[in-house]
Amino acid sequence: MKYIKIPNSDIKASEISLGCMRISKMTNQEISGLVHTALDEGINFFDHADIYGGGKSEERFSEALDMNPSLREKIYLQTKCGIRKGSFDFSKEHILEAVDGSLSRLRTEYVDVLLLHRPDALVEPEEVAEAFTILQNSGKVKYFGVSNQNPMQIELLSKFVKQKIIFNQLQFSITNSGMIDAGINVNMENNPSINRDGSILDYCRLKEITIQPWSPFQYGFFEGVFLDNEKFPELNQKINAIATAMGVTNTAIAIAWILRHPARMQPIVGTTNPGRLKDICRASGVELTRSEWYEIYIAAGNKLP
Ligand SMILES: NC(=O)c1ccc[n+]([C@@H]2O[C@H](COP(=O)([O-])OP(=O)(O)OC[C@H]3O[C@@H](n4cnc5c(N)ncnc54)[C@H](OP(=O)(O)O)[C@@H]3O)[C@@H](O)[C@H]2O)c1
């Protein structure tokens, strides 16, 4: 496993992170098996949110691992807040309350990173700034980031928030590559040229904000997995050919495609299967060539102008 020094922090994170959104219904033994596989593979970064499994994912994670200071020191824990039933909420009161809830469920004194989960239309950045400062001063949160935010939203936040925004978690995969399409099709009259995200990829590179691609195997909005899916014959043929030549599985190639991008992104994978996780981690040793990267991009149905 390779590690990335996350800019503007002292975090040295595994370049692949394990997302814990889907673990709430697993048994203790299964969760422990999955997380210990992750640790054995060199994964040291775990992504949570207060809402995953209605709070159960955080709770079950720490229970299954019997969270203790020695384990806690070895891993980075990231969680998110700001989504409530029927609304988004970046109020100071909610952020503070949500973090206390996560700390208690994760059985820890601090989280390494707190992300604001989805943009709140009613955000008051001054309030977010107050909340972040309180959380940092109390030692409850070390670093801060956002998720699903565009450049101007981050700019607005950064005008008030004293801490650096170190991560932006965004949907990104071979089949959800809008962040890249618009940059390749600048000023064209086609659909891929539509800039839907305010050039978030270049903005994050410029500001040294590490992008964490979420759902790296899904197409659409949780419509399913594109690998071994008959809806994507050409793409699977291409990925499988490269995987066979390299002696790894198609899962590793899907992640290697993300890791090949020079933005040094940190994909968050959500498998609950230890065997699959091991296969995915092989991606860390695979370096796709420039032409392989483009061949996969084109096989996904994208055209170069
Ligand atoms: N910030 C946000 O708004 C946001 C949104 C969504 C997710 N996230 C984060 O991103 C993480 C990953 O999301 P995700 O779970 O949707 O991502 P994912 O890794 O793309 O999908 C994992 C799911 O796909 C299944 N799967 C089936 N075939 C697979 C294959 N060949 N390779 C890999 N997976 C296969 C897995 O099943 P098995 O378990 O059986 O392997 C699992 O249910 C979450 O845990 C969460 O931390 C963040």
Closest CA to 141 of 116, 168, 169, 171: 116
DSSP string for residues in 69-112: HHHHHH-EEEEEE-EETTEE---HHHHHHHHHHHHHHHT-S-EE
The dihedral sign for the CA sequence 107, 109, 115, 119:
positive
pLDDT of 88-100, one tens digit each?
999 999 999 999 9
49: three-class secondary structure by DSSP: coil
Task: Tell me 209's DSSP state.
Answer: P
145: three-class secondary structure by DSSP: strand
**pLDDT value at residue 250:** 98
Which amino acid residue places its CA nearest to atom 37 of ligand 1? 271
CA of 21 to the centre of ligand 1 (A): 8
**pLDDT value at residue 56:** 97
Weakly modelled stretches of the chain, pLDDT under 50:
none
CA of 216 to the centre of ligand 1 (A): 7
pLDDT of 28-76, one tens digit each?
999 999 999 999 999 999 999 999 999 999 999 999 999 999 999 999 9
Residue 37 Cβ inside 6 Å of ligand 1? The answer reads: no
Residue 149 Cβ inside 6 Å of ligand 1? The answer reads: no
**pLDDT value at residue 175:** 98
Tokens 């949500």 correspond to: 98
Rounded to a whole number of angstroms, the distance between the first and last alpha carbons of the chain is 36
The dihedral sign for the CA sequence 259, 243, 217, 101:
negative
Tokens 């469920």 correspond to: 105
Measured distance CA(299)–CA(238) in Å, rounded: 7
Residue 271 Cβ inside 6 Å of ligand 1? The answer reads: yes
Residue 276 Cβ inside 6 Å of ligand 1? The answer reads: yes
177: three-class secondary structure by DSSP: coil
**pLDDT value at residue 261:** 98
